[in-house]
Amino acid sequence: IDGITPRDDFPALPIFQELLRENHLLIAEHTLHHRDKEILFPGPAIDRANRQRWKQDGAMDLEARLQNEVKKLLKTYQPSTLPETTKKDLVKLMEKEARRHGQDHLPLPPMTT
């Protein structure tokens, strides 16, 4: 399991702002260097459709898409089938990684009703 790897070579804010202003952030050396390792496919709440398709699909704003996604996740939720020992080992790994990055503890799990 790999932890989060901070990037020491991230451009300073003024350089980042310049790249945005000049509309070439996506072809900047830093972006090209990391893009193959850091590809992100956002979840269903992030809409990348153009305006016409967005309207055809119901013109839902971010809040509505998030609400739909939460309902879908709750409806299809299945409890973990991992053995308890495996769960405990995973928590230990996450706690170790959190401490390595200066975090005292993991976030508390959501309360169940």
Tell me: the pLDDT tens digits for 34-56? 777 766 667 788 887 788 988 99
Q: What is the structure's pLDDT at 5? A: 62
- Pick the more confident residue, 105 or 33: 105
Nearby residues of 16 by Cβ (< 8 Å), 6 or more positions away: 25
The three state secondary structure string of 46-88 is CCCCCHHHHHHCCCCCHHHHHHHHHHHHHHHCCCCCCCHHHHH
Q: What is the structure's pLDDT at 22? A: 80
Average pLDDT over residues 13-37: 76
Averaged pLDDT score across all residues of the chain: 82
Global pTM value: 0.44
